[in-house]
Chains A and B, each alone.
Chain A
Amino acid sequence: MDNLLLWTILLPLLTAVVCALLPVKVSKIVAVASTVVGLLLACLIYERFIPEALNGFQMVLRVPWITRYQINFALGVDGLSLPLLLLSKFIMPIALLASWGITNHARVLTICFLVLDAAMAGTFLATDIFLFYIFWEFVLIPMILIIGVWGSSERIYAALKFFLVTFAGSLLMLVAIFWLYTSYHAQFGTYTADIASLGYIKFSTDPVLWGLTAQEWVFLAFALAFCIKVPLFPLHTWLPDAHTQAPTGGSIILAAVLLKMGTYGLLRFCVPLTPDAFARFSPIIAVLGLVGIVYGAWVAFQQEDAKRMVAYSSVSHLGFIVVGICALSPEALSGAVLQMVNHGLSTGGLFLLVGILYDRRHTRKLSEFGGLAKVIPWYAFFLVLISCSSMGVPGLNGFVGEFLILLGTFQTHPLWATVAVSGVVFAAVYTLVMLRAVIWGPVKNEENLSVKDINPREAFLLGVLSLFIVWLGVAPQSLLGKIKPSLDVYWSQNSGNRETASVILPPRDSVEGEAGPRE
């Protein structure tokens, strides 16, 4: 029980149980305290994480579960999951505090958040494909409750749409998981659900259906699930609805963490497990990502609703990450991982800001605002700062990720990078239009004159977010340095031929005795 990773999952769950028994007010405080402890745990993991230990996962926990199928409760952390773990643990107290003002069924909301916390941590930490899937899907449940119960007027529609669309993708992934699982059994005579070991499956190159090989089908099934979650261009329509309807805390988590599960999945599964198929399809995915970058920005530009605008901006930003992943160069890879965190901070912050405004005015229509800089200067300050982060002004975090992604992408695919760079311009367009509509100009609407500036709680949240936004902009090395060796290994294993990679690096199974194929 001294495994830190386990506690990152257990703690919120236990707290959820405790919160169910406590009075509402106490339970809120307990929940926040628990998530803060969770954050500290994550920091401790960050501290104990050894960048130079190149061999796969660290702090591994493996408890046999369904022994018949060799399914384990297995957790581990590596350079891919560490930043996301930190992000999810960091965002959680913020989301809880952002929802502080919600009074109806506050205890249940708190419990939902805590359960979500556990599920998200589990998703990022699971090294067993079955466990991963469980957490992956489990995330949906608290999330649809958060959207559906505490959301705005169209919340039920949005919740159902969110659930069904994302569920649709993950079910096909489930089939692919089965397929991998049975193939491994067919090839090695034993079962394994260990993600790393599944990478040893050798795929036949014969087409099985419609001219695609088994590996490609597996890839497509995985990619569909992840691309819906990201969301990639034509699969994105659930996102604006979900974001718009969700309460502030829900939007923050949705944008900051849930979308990252998609890109994380691409990195964790699609690239290592089905490398050839990835090589074949990554141009298509990248092109969709590029379309998403541009298209998301265009549509964001047209939105009347502030949250919808931020939601579409997410489509655009996540496009960068996807392109970075598809480019598969070490710089782009680091950039993509870092950008996941960055987007979480900046978009989370934007949702927080929109939520603050919504609390005061009960509308998100951009045309209702205007001139707020005069009325609520501190709010305006944070809005400008976080918007800058969102549109990638250098010196703030958004730039570092985008820059690395584009830089890396340009090394392998100059054309992609060239198209993607246009997103930088469009991002400025819609962000500035939003800023103009909200804080600049004269105060046209009488109601805006009585809007109160941010209170200490909100100021604290925004301050913390801004602090990290600046921190990661100025000193991203504190994170990049921690994950760099791990990502370099990842890159060398997954780019080009694997044989040379395995010469350079010790084989994966030499550290974890059980990881490799067993006879």
Chain B
Amino acid sequence: MIPIPSTLAQWSHYIAACLFALGLFGFLIRKNGIVVLMCIELMLNALNLFLVEVSMRSSHPEGIIFVIFIITVAAAEAAVGLGIILNLYRLKGSVHVDLFKSLKG
């Protein structure tokens, strides 16, 4: 039984939020497909941090379980995302996402 440090309790979710915001920002503005994927990972990690915080604060293990699943899924998503990016690279020789806008209107 260790008391929660006040900084941890007060600032942890700030870090999560910052990370999330950074991820989201990068997600929206970066044109390199791979970096965009990384930004998604950043956002997921921010969520993980938040979930761990919640779970630990309440001494409740479900959040941790959730985090484990999220990590797994994130890995899978990264794999699929990279596969898709690879596919695109094969077609166009670039991973610049704005090159792919033939579908519109």
A touches B (Cβ under 8 A): no
